[in-house]
Amino acid sequence: MDRDWAGYVKGLLRSEMARKGVTYEELVGRLEELGVKETAPNLRNKLSRASFTAVFFIQCLRAMGVTTLRLDD
């Protein structure tokens, strides 16, 4: 199966943001509480390009309080 993996992961993160009702600005603040320095414009760019590491992905999920992640479509 051909899949746009970067787009898939970007969609997972955006879906969790929507599900939790977290804005980019709120996520920046929550990441800062974990010691991760980020700006809202940079976060938007990372998500739009899907150019972030697995570590950053997990940091975002943790910052939003995500404890489980559904991976099937």
Q: What is the pLDDT of residues 13-42, one digit of tens each?
A: 999 999 999 999 999 999 999 999 999 999
Q: Residue 73's pLDDT is what?
A: 63
Q: Residue 18's pLDDT is what?
A: 96
Q: Residue 71's pLDDT is what?
A: 87
Q: Residue 51's pLDDT is what?
A: 87
User: Confidence band (pLDDT; 50, 70, 90) for 1?
Assistant: low
Mean residue pLDDT across the chain:
93
User: Tokens at residue 33, please?
Assistant: 């509480």
Whole-prediction pTM: 0.89
What are the b/e assignments for 16-26, b being 16+ CB within 10 Å? Answer: bbeeeebebee
Task: Give which of 58, 50, 60 is closest to 10, Cα–Cα.
Answer: 50
